[in-house]
Structure 1
Amino acid sequence: MEDILVKGTYICSMNSIWYGNNFKLGVLGGGQLGRMLIQEAINYDVHVHCMDNDPDAPCSKIANSYTLGKLTDYDDVMNFGKDKDVITVEIEHVNVQALKELEAAGVKVYPQPHILEMIQDKGLQKEFYQNNGIPTAPFALVNSKEEIFDNLELLPVMQKLRKGGYDGKGVQAVKTEADIAHGFDGPCVLESFVDFKKELSVIVARNAKGEIKTFPTVECEFSKELNLVEFLFSPAEISEEVEVRSQELAKEIIEKLDMVGILAIEYFLTQEDELLVNEIAPRPHNSGHHTIEANLTSQFEQHLRAITNTPLGDTAIVQPGVMINVLGDPNYEGPTVYDGLDFVMQQAGAYAHMYGKASTKPNRKMGHITVINPDLEKAKETARVIKSRFKVISE
């Protein structure tokens, strides 16, 4: 393998061998998504190297190497990436300029930096949908809460910060003119309320050869209080027509992006059975965790296959699955205790994934539990019982 000199630093170029000691896969982020990617990578002898600013993040104990660094810092990202063959992310909030320079120097960066740059800005996301004929809710872009007064015809709206929001943060409802006083004062998206009956998600993957595969559509149930996925199941309870349309639209989006990697597309299904794209995430996603047990290929293995430009795996359902999002109990903060884990282990078809976070705090993502069963309704029943009996508390 021949190195490339850029700005006085040698940058590792792409190796045709995508496994073993001579291939380095870099992951920006050390959380649970990276952890589950590593668990799949081990099966293929792919060496994964992670960077995060948390010394005790989930990846810290199992990565081939673990670097402390700030994901948004140019120098930290450059120094981390300069000897890697491929770089990927498990969180979108990273230094794009450093990734652009690494890419120009020959390092493969997937998803590509310009895509990350667009997805970091919810306003650019909405404009991408609009410019490419992708159905989405009506919206307006504003630079301050005062500008909301110029868009009163859109009320009620969801106000979303263009940058920095995640997991329900940076999003709030503005229903009436009186609510504007409490709105975010900065660049935002105003998105009209959608009268939807279901929230759906499709995971789609694409490799550099242009091969594309989708996973069957997932139906999500959200916590209205937390604006987080608490519960999801697959296959979704939708018509065959909606299933086909959701799959085709996912393929269209990843093709128009010309993206390599895995992409989660979140949809609203309206009362008229119209699909509207809500948001997209260019990485493994919470709505794909069930695929570890419920599908022939997991979303994490599929992402690995996509970014190493190897054949994509079969995404067929092995058994219907339900995924429970495990959050820290609202009443506890401190060293982690899994209350009811023995009960979970006694349930047929239940698989616990605890993310190895040493301390819990209210509503922190601590793990997930998947339940599979040939009968989706029975899987749902078991999941509801588990949800009532298992919680993450503290000593």
Structure 2
Amino acid sequence: MLLQASIDWNLTIHIIDPDAEAPCRHLATSFTQGSLTDYDTVYQFGQQVDVLTIEIERVNVEALEALEKEGKRIYPQPSVIRTIQDKRLQKQFYRAHNIPTADFILTENRADVQTIADDFLPAFHKLGRDGYDGRGVQRIASSADTGKAFDAPGVLEQAVDFEKELAVIVARNEQGELATFPTVEMVFHPEHNLVEYLFAPAEISPAIDQQAQAIARQTTEAFGIVGLLAVELFLTKNGEILVNEVAPRPHNSGHHTIRANVTSQFEQHWRAILGLPLGDTTALTTAAMLNLLGEPGHSGPAQYEGMETLLSLPGVFPFLYGKKITRPFRKMGHITVIGSDLTEIQAKAETIKKSIKVCSRQ
């Protein structure tokens, strides 16, 4: 989707990805297969470009830092990526910058979790590094669950009694200009910690919206990031806003902006990292976004069932990611729904959830 946004501006884009069959390979000016975590591979790739950006945090930061010292423009900055890719550093960053977040305890291994007092539970144990899309997270409801904890450095985060999960995407360019997208409400899959769908705008009061926007901007300024920062938030039962996690890139919580906003998050990312004026983030319509996930029990070449039903509905736009192989709960695409109000959109979303499936060819 970043590539598709770049085509409008005739940008020359070079891609490195570990997957030889990555869907982006046919859209890029050039494509390199290579490990994103190998120092030499990332360093050599970075030598060839003027501006380097990422779409996943799991990348060799040492190579990016070396390139930055040599004068390469790297956005988001390696220092920001280093902090965000380690949830332990991320949580400590919030505390140091007075950014509201759930209480937490750093842990080195499973034994540390097993010493935690019951009054801190329920909590979530998160791997410090390499957790992604719900992986690397375990719910520890009571001391009986501590055997589920990771036997590796992590953070134990006290569970938040929240009313809603929200997100705000903030853009910041080299000149320090900021622009925020409207606050959205996210609904997560009950088992797999993946965004199942979101609604935009979030059904919250103007006061809560202002608070969410202000905290997202505060967080972005604290990092000093150039690019996009997706700030995931909890709205607690007593009206507090807490930062859950952030992502320094275009994010699932902004996919709907391709159809629903004046400027999409993908165009905005290019504007930010190229030092251009930021675009208008105004919402053109009420919207929802549903993740299109691989069906349980299906692994293999993907086929999409129910596309005709989907395409017969007004205001419904599927985006397929070009992944050849489906797996249970793998993100295979998303569907944006637009309409006059949330009631209409929620009804469409329920119809869509029942009508389209990503299965494997038998």
Tell me the TM-score normalized by structure 1: 0.90
One-letter amino acid matched to 2:125: Q
Q: Quote the residue 1:330 is aligned against.
A: 296
1:60 aligns with 2:25: yes
Give, in angstroms, the shift of residue 361 of structure 1.
1.4
Give, in angstroms, the shift of residue 160 of structure 1.
0.4
Question: Which one of the candidate residues 375, 380, 394 is aligned to 2:341?
Answer: 375
CA RMSD of aligned residues (A): 0.9
Q: Quick one: distance in 2 between partners of 1:154 and 1:243?
A: 29
Deviations 1:237-277 (A, max 9, x none): 00000111111111111111111000000001000110010
1:114 aligns with 2:72: no
Tell me the TM-score normalized by structure 2: 0.98
Q: Quote the residue 2:157 is aligned against.
A: 191
- Percent identity between matched residues is 51
Q: Quick one: distance in 1 between partners of 2:295 and 2:147?
A: 32
Q: Quick one: distance in 1 between partners of 2:262 and 2:14?
A: 26
One-letter amino acid matched to 1:137: A
Give, in angstroms, the shift of residue 98 of structure 1.
0.4
Give, in angstroms, the shift of residue 315 of structure 1.
0.4
SS of the residue corresponding to residue 235 of structure 2 reads strand
Unpaired stretches in structure 1, ≥5 consecutive residues: 1-35
One-letter amino acid matched to 1:306: A
Q: Quick one: distance in 2 between partners of 1:85 and 1:129?
A: 32
Unpaired stretches in structure 2, ≥5 consecutive residues: none
Q: Quick one: distance in 2 between partners of 1:177 and 1:253?
A: 33
Give, in angstroms, the shift of residue 120 of structure 1.
1.0
Q: Quote the residue 1:290 is aligned against.
A: 256
Q: Quick one: distance in 2 between partners of 1:48 and 1:290?
A: 23
Q: Quote the residue 1:93 is aligned against.
A: 58
Q: Quick one: distance in 2 between partners of 1:181 and 1:74?
A: 35
Deviations 1:16-69 (A, max 9, x none): xxxxxxxxxxxxxxxxxxxx0000000011111110110111211111110010
Q: Quote the residue 1:42 is aligned against.
A: 7
- Choose 171-180 or 316-325, whichever is displaced more: 171-180
SS of the residue corresponding to residue 213 of structure 1 reads strand
Give, in angstroms, the shift of residue 186 of structure 1.
1.3
Deviations 1:104-161 (A, max 9, x none): 1111000000110001110100001000100000000010111124431412210001
Give, in angstroms, the shift of residue 339 of structure 1.
0.5
One-letter amino acid matched to 1:241: A
Q: Quick one: distance in 1 between partners of 2:325 and 2:156?
A: 36
Q: Quote the residue 2:359 is aligned against.
A: 393
Q: Quote the residue 1:313 is aligned against.
A: 279
Give, in angstroms, the shift of residue 358 of structure 1.
1.2
Deviations 1:285-329 (A, max 9, x none): 001000000100000000010000101000000000000100011
SS of the residue corresponding to residue 127 of structure 1 reads helix
Q: Is the 2:37–2:59 Cα contact (8 Å) retained in structure 1?
A: yes
Q: Quick one: distance in 2 between partners of 1:241 and 1:259?
A: 26
SS of the residue corresponding to residue 229 of structure 2 reads strand
